Structure 1
């Protein structure tokens, strides 16, 4: 009994540290995950799958294992040694591997629930700190207290907004306890943030969340609440000079890119311009690769670098603007280029199965919010690499574990069972 309680307290303490480090210290994230792995064998002892969800769970975990194995195979086919192939797996897909290893830790309902609350608290605290610093003039609007903070206002903060909205919808008695952190997140996103992803994800995510809750929201007073919430969000966006400036900049960057010659595009400096150029480059790489297995992730960087140079990118421009040749800022294209059609299908199947598993949950908050997080992730990776990116890859790993591993979360319910 003492051992059981100790491992839960230990896991919670480490998860609290990971939540605090998620947007502050990459080293802290790595150390936290390693510390969590130390107690994983004790959680595996006696761990069993929930009988009602066993089939869906096994399918999900087998898909992840198959995807990791396929990554190694593609690099071996591309001529890499076993050592380099395994090193590439550790570098690119460790977040997937961690899901397999850490699954029994999050099977414990109390651990999963604590991890979610720790992440939510960290997000609101960081958003509030940056908002306060902006309003007091410590930093300019659109700036951040530290560099990695900009990862907050994408799928992370938007997902948390929908989590709070779902809690409010399902448990109205929470009222201000969910309304206040939601306002902090939205205000920080609109007035103390320069990242466009948050605005776009909020816009495309709202109709999906509305559809998932159609039975509740199409009746009674809720439909007016939702309408008022949508109007409130639109007014916030309209009143925000940061939102207006960033959206206008997006249109300008797209128009500038398509007005350039191919030679000029090879040295483009804008955020969207670089992404569009990367898409052109990786499309050529895909055409040269074997459509079934791709080029492998080990050799991807060198091949991608060579194509950009052939298109006209100079060494100076590459060092200044295209320094990250391992990251094409589109995970679908990256998976297709490095792992072929089979790899892309396996990658998509993991997240489809995640939604299928989530839909087997009886907990409405757990079910709907998990699907929302997956949807936001799938939209996000059209313009960023998430699972191969430290902060947001680990966040997605934690979200999948938190919402899928336990049979139920029972968040903010009276006398929840700890499982």
Structure 2
């Protein structure tokens, strides 16, 4: 078959979505402390490597095909993708891989500053296999939540064009579960050194995410008309969410922040993801404002409930994912064969379908993440030692530092001073919080 404009667009979209994971690395890396920035970025980068391999071997097969009890596809149906050679299906397989990659990478922000890199590299392929792939099959691959599935056929098919349930709700729930398993960072809520160390990185990451999101949402567009609606909505919702977040900060705190602007953009992108092809531009603006304001308020939940979601994955991805998914029950445009949301006179059917899909995604991710996370935590351990957490996990986990300050930085295990720095770290007494603060950016 000749290469068509549609094929090219999907491949370009896949490249845009793949870029989102390095963008996420900058977004998360800037939000951590300087001494944990490299570890945070590596958690995103290694997700590309691990999930890329899993996807080729069995992940793609689990998201389609005949399926097992409508829960997941046969892992061996297209093992190694050999059966796809010579077909255009390889393009779709590559596009799907980029979604799986960034989904698991999103989770890492909740456990910043304190997770063992080895434990994370074990968690990633297991979670993608047992959570992401089954959920993708249920929603997009003809499984339980599809129109012909047992649940979708009973309560109606939920709308999730680009991943409100499959990507953001599942990742947000997993982030919460892991944050509870690993526990709080030392000095959580008290140590000012836990604030973001590089806001320009955060804003760069948000910009790269927004850029890539046009492929994330638009890659599956079937017509030019649908693609236009998706593009405008993907521009409008995060723009409005940024305004909503900044307005909330201005009213609550007295001043808007650059971190709030970047976070608002991401919240709006998350909220529009499931709805991008099914709401009007006005609906996208309204959804953006609501998601920006709600997520800005949700950031404080972790302090009231006492869990340490380091980089607010729960407040942004879980909350905005739920807002975007449920909003379709109200503002989904009517289409042929469906009445749309409540605001268009469509009745409660679509809202019920959205609630059920969200509930199943929450339950699956929560249960499976708890099993995987606890198994790792109770065996090899998921959290670094308190000494390594205080002194910085970049050095203890990677023998590197992100910055060179007066000759104290190192550039990897090959560096002539790496072993010396590691030895000094192991023998040094843990610093107090006050010492960390007075040493400024090194903390």
Q: Same fold (TM over 0.5)?
A: no
More helix as a share of residues: 1
Identify the structure with bigger relative contact order (alpha carbons < 8 Å, sequence gap 6+): 1
The interval holding the TM-score normalised by the smaller chain is: under 0.3
